A = this chain, B = another copy of it.
Amino acid sequence: MHDFDPGYTHEPYATLVRSHPGPEIYPPEDFRVEWGPVFHRGRLDGSARVLVIGQDPAAHEAVTRRILVGTAGRRVQGFLAKLGIDTGYVMVNTFLYSVYGQGGGTAHAQDPAIADYRHAWLDALMEHNAVEAVLAFGGLADTAFRTWHATPAGRRYTGAYQHMLHPTYPESASSSGSTTLATAMAKLLADWNTALEALHGAITRPDHERPLVPYGSTGFTPADLASIPEADLPAGLPAWMRSAEPWARREGATPGEKRATIVVEVPETLRPF
């Protein structure tokens, strides 16, 4: 049997999805609106105890139409597993659309119209789930949470909150030249270990009780990652879209062509032919 995510069939999510904002609120010079909004990943049936806030969807997410499915997703999934949370989560992003260009979305961290729509999701998720912990990955997600937490509905949330480094911080920080990959990775793992300690006691109803196993100091081990559950993706998507192998990339001879193009390639080791 093949499980799948039933998607946005019931309220309040059906109306939220139907009324998503477009380029009138997300300027096309800063967001890849042409790939459409990507809304969430995880449970919309009221069973989530952890709410994850990420940043924005990338190439893999434009194809699966669910957030946090690439490298970042498997790292987050592994973090949740360490807390005993295998399925009891729901994830939304700071931005509905993929961020484009150098600014990295920072210029829009406080946009009221973008926040309004995000708040409608956060309000709905908090109202319909007994959330015990909120995790914000990256600075923009932290700003998103704090902005929501200052609203009347947000103030009612009294559970745990943890601002953590973004799961691909090591790669992005080292590629910008401000640090080495090893240093940035060690910083991420220490940060996530701090979060594990802080959150472990806050989750009173894990999917599975597990002894807390912290990260090492040099990198993610295979045991530190976890697979995206089949039940998190839409019906019919092949299993390699949830694998550890990258399978989507932006490609093009010019910036315009690269922005317009996503190449989807079945990983070589996972081809049945």
Q: Which residues of A contact B (CB under 8 A)?
A: 1-4, 6-9, 14, 17-20, 23, 28-29, 33-39, 63, 65, 100, 234-238, 240, 251, 256-257, 259-266, 268, 270-273
Contacts and interface: CB of A to CB of B under 8 A. Distances in A.
Contact of A7 (B7, B19, B23, B39): B7
Contact of A235 (B39, B266, B273): B39
A2 B4 CA distance: 23
Contact of A272 (B34, B236, B262, B270): B34
A271 B256 CA distance: 9
Contacts of A7: 6-7, 9, 234-235
A28 B273 contact: yes
A186 to B, nearest CB: 36
Given A18-B3, A37-B236, A263 B263 contact: yes
B272 A39 contact: no
Contact of A18 (B2, B63, B266): B2
23 contacts: A2-B19, A2-B20, A6-B7, A6-B14, A7-B234, A7-B235, A9-B9, A23-B272, A28-B273, A29-B273, A34-B240, A34-B266, A34-B271, A34-B272, A34-B273, A36-B236, A36-B238, A37-B236, A63-B63, A65-B236, A256-B271, A261-B263, A261-B264
A38 B236 contact: yes
Nearest to A247: B260
A252 B24 CA distance: 38
In the assembly, how many copies of this chain are there? 2
A-B residue pairs, 8 tightest by C-beta: A36-B238, A28-B272, A260-B266, A6-B9, A9-B9, A36-B236, A261-B265, A17-B235
A64 B40 CA distance: 18
Contacts of A6: 7-9, 14
Interface centre among A100, A251, A257, A263 (most CB of B within 10 A): A263
Contact of A273 (B8, B251, B259): B259
Given A7-B6, A256-B271, A260-B265, A19 B34 contact: no
Given A256-B273, A272-B33, A17 B236 contact: yes
A37 B8 CA distance: 21
A235 B34 contact: no
Contacts of A20: 2, 236
Given A257-B265, A263-B263, 14 more contacts: A2-B18, A2-B20, A6-B9, A17-B235, A28-B272, A34-B266, A35-B266, A36-B236, A37-B236, A39-B235, A63-B264, A65-B235, A259-B271, A260-B266
